[in-house]
Amino acid sequence: MTSDTTLITAGLAPQGEGRVLLIACGALAREILAIKATNALDHLDLQCLPAILHNHPERIVPAVREAVARYGGAYEQLFVVYADCGTGGQLQAACADMGVEMVAGPHCYSFFEGNEAFVARDEITAFYLTDFLVRQFEAFVWKPLGLDRHPDLRDMYFGNYEKLVYQAQTDDPALTQKAKDYAGKLGLAFERRFTGYGDLTPALTAIS
């Protein structure tokens, strides 16, 4: 079984016409595979880059460029399943330069919520977790911030936040309880918001 943080290759079989390769953030692997299965998107293959790039936006563009160079000759079309993800517009510029399309939005929290709805909320004091980040909270939030070693730094990092918003892609009571526990650990109010897959579903189903 593949873990959330490893590089994932699903159904790479570029033979035949009309196949599209998704070059995606590993943090979105479960969601993409679920959308593929539900909508019978058999023409889409998946190559995920390591999810830990979520914490290192400066590494995303080089990694995407490398993947496009590696796989571009084998597919009629490539589609990048990242939003801007902290690259300051560099990923969009790189995709335009390479002639590939990408998911619209500033980050996954926005497209899971729905980009228009996310902008309308204007929640500048909310800290977001997705299903993936709830599962990987220790590895992607707590330890990278050094809070496992220096819990006294919590208020320095999160003092300006008011609530933790768990954007739930699935109805999983165990994940909801974990997210609620993490909100308490960070000293934040808790809100669960079921988003499903948001704008990710129409983005993938529109790929021909």
Cα separation values, 59 from 55, 74, 86, Å: 9, 24, 10
What per-residue confidence (pLDDT) applies to 43?
A: 95
What is the per-residue pLDDT across 77-126, written as a single tens digit (0 to 9) for each? 999 999 999 999 999 999 999 999 999 999 999 999 999 999 999 999 99
Q: Is the pLDDT of residue 2 over 80?
A: no
Residue from 81, 114, 109 nearest 166 by CA? 109
Report the CATH number that the domain containing residue 16 is assigned in CATH: 3.40.50
Q: Is the pLDDT of residue 18 over 70?
A: yes
Structural domain contains residue 133: yes
80 & 129 share domain: no
Tokens linked to 26? 């590993």
Distance CA 170, CA 115 (A): 19
Q: Domain containing 118: what range?
A: 111-194
Q: Is the pLDDT of residue 194 over 50?
A: yes
105 & 31 share domain: yes
145 & 92 share domain: no
Q: Which residues share a beta bridge with 130?
A: 167
What per-residue confidence (pLDDT) applies to 11?
A: 47
Distance CA 155, CA 158 (A): 5
104 & 118 share domain: no
Question: Span 10-34, mean pLDDT?
Answer: 82
What is the per-residue pLDDT across 28-55, written as a single tens digit (0 to 9) for each? 999 999 999 999 999 999 999 999 999 9
What is the per-residue pLDDT across 132-183, written as a single tens digit (0 to 9) for each? 999 999 999 999 999 999 999 999 999 999 999 999 999 999 999 999 999 9
Q: Is the pLDDT of residue 5 over 80?
A: no
Provide the angle, in degrees to the nearest 10, between the axes of the packed helices 90-98 and 60-71: 20
Distance CA 22, CA 17 (A): 15
Q: Is the pLDDT of residue 8 over 90?
A: no
